[in-house]
Amino acid sequence: MSLSFFISGIFFAFGQLFFQVLVPLPIIVCVYLLDVRKGFLCFFIMASGIYLIFQNHFFAILSIQLGLLGLVTGIILKNKFSFIKTGVLSTVILSLISLLAIFVISLHDRSFINRIYMNLEIHMDKSLKIYEETGISKEKVELVKESFSTAINIIKTSFPAIIFIVNFLIVSINLFFSKKILGLKALKLSPFKTWRLRDECIWVFIISALMTFLFKYAKFQSGYIIGLNLLIIISTVYLVGGLAIANFFFDKWKVFPFVKVLIYVLVFTSPIFLILIIILGLIDFWFDFRNRVVEKEKS
């Protein structure tokens, strides 16, 4: 099943968004229902099959990454932790394994990272051709090209943060489907609109922001990159917090679904709206908007 998902993700347009994300799911189910050995066998067959079929190192590494994600998440899932705890533990372990593997491989093959960027550029070029085939004007195509070039530069600086965020998204999607398939009560989530970050998280944001700006000013590149990646990760968490607050008020004001979707599209396509939602999540630490509304209604 994992092998089928992976191959489908390669051959179908935009398949990575629908199929390859679900590659870990059969392995998670196998580990949870059977045992780790059976899950490892499923992982080994999938990764070996991908390498034998495509003879492509990039696909092989991607299949190993997704397979390990399934194994680790399945093992943690057996401990019956909450959804958030399972997701965060799996993400942290997988991200550390990924970064360590990249570091070790880079020591033996200095061109490894460059080949990853080349593969990304190839995928972006394919996407660009799809845009061109739809008959979009040359000006818009040039804008897309510039966006892709900017994206590559951002990826080069914030590679660890992107690995962490992508891992968390994939883990969360697979946990959601695992919960449905296996009927796991331990993974029950409270309504998204009530979700709020722990107050201590504000210190992570402040420290990472200070590290980023001070080390950039001091021209200490390693410290700057560490601070920037931490800042991106915690900002993403505050983005989710801001979306939870927005969702609370959408429900309270009975906003039409179409308007909700339009606002979400604006948030993820406009940097200004994205920053505003992150700021909303941040200042909730001081104002606690939802609690104020609830207390006002009670009084």
Look at residue 13 and tell me whether its pLDDT is greater than 70.
no
Rounded CA-CA distance 133/119 in Å is: 21
CA distances from 289 to 91, 147, 159, 285 (A): 30, 35, 34, 9
The full set of domain ranges for the chain reads 1-188, 190-299
Q: What is the pLDDT of residue 131?
A: 65
Summarize the confidence of residues 151-177 as an average pLDDT: 86
Percent of the chain whose pLDDT exceeds 70: 87
Task: Tell which wins on pLDDT, 96 or 112.
Answer: 96
Summarize the confidence of residues 254-265 as an average pLDDT: 88
Rounded CA-CA distance 29/267 in Å is: 34
Q: What is the pLDDT of residue 104?
A: 78
Token digits of residue 280: 């909303």
| pLDDT confidence band for 157 (50 / 70 / 90) | confident
The 10s digit of each residue's pLDDT in 221-235 is 889 999 999 999 999
Q: What is the pLDDT of residue 3?
A: 54
Q: Give me Rg for the CA atoms of the chain.
A: 21
Q: 1-188: what fold? A: Arp2/3 complex 21 kDa subunit ARPC3 (1.10.1760)
The 10s digit of each residue's pLDDT in 39-52 is 888 888 888 888 88
Look at residue 11 and tell me whether its pLDDT is greater than 70.
no
Q: Where is 188: in which H helix or E strand?
A: none
pTM: 0.82
| pLDDT confidence band for 5 (50 / 70 / 90) | low
The mean predicted confidence, pLDDT, of the chain is 83
Percent of the chain whose pLDDT exceeds 90: 22
Q: Rounded to the nearest 5 degrees, what angle is found at the Cα of 252, between the Cα atoms of 248 and 254?
A: 115
CA distances from 70 to 17, 23, 167, 293 (A): 17, 8, 11, 41
Could you count the other beta carbons within 10 Å of the beta carbon of residue 295? 10
| pLDDT confidence band for 10 (50 / 70 / 90) | low
Task: Tell which wins on pLDDT, 57 or 273.
Answer: 273
Summarize the confidence of residues 151-180 as an average pLDDT: 86
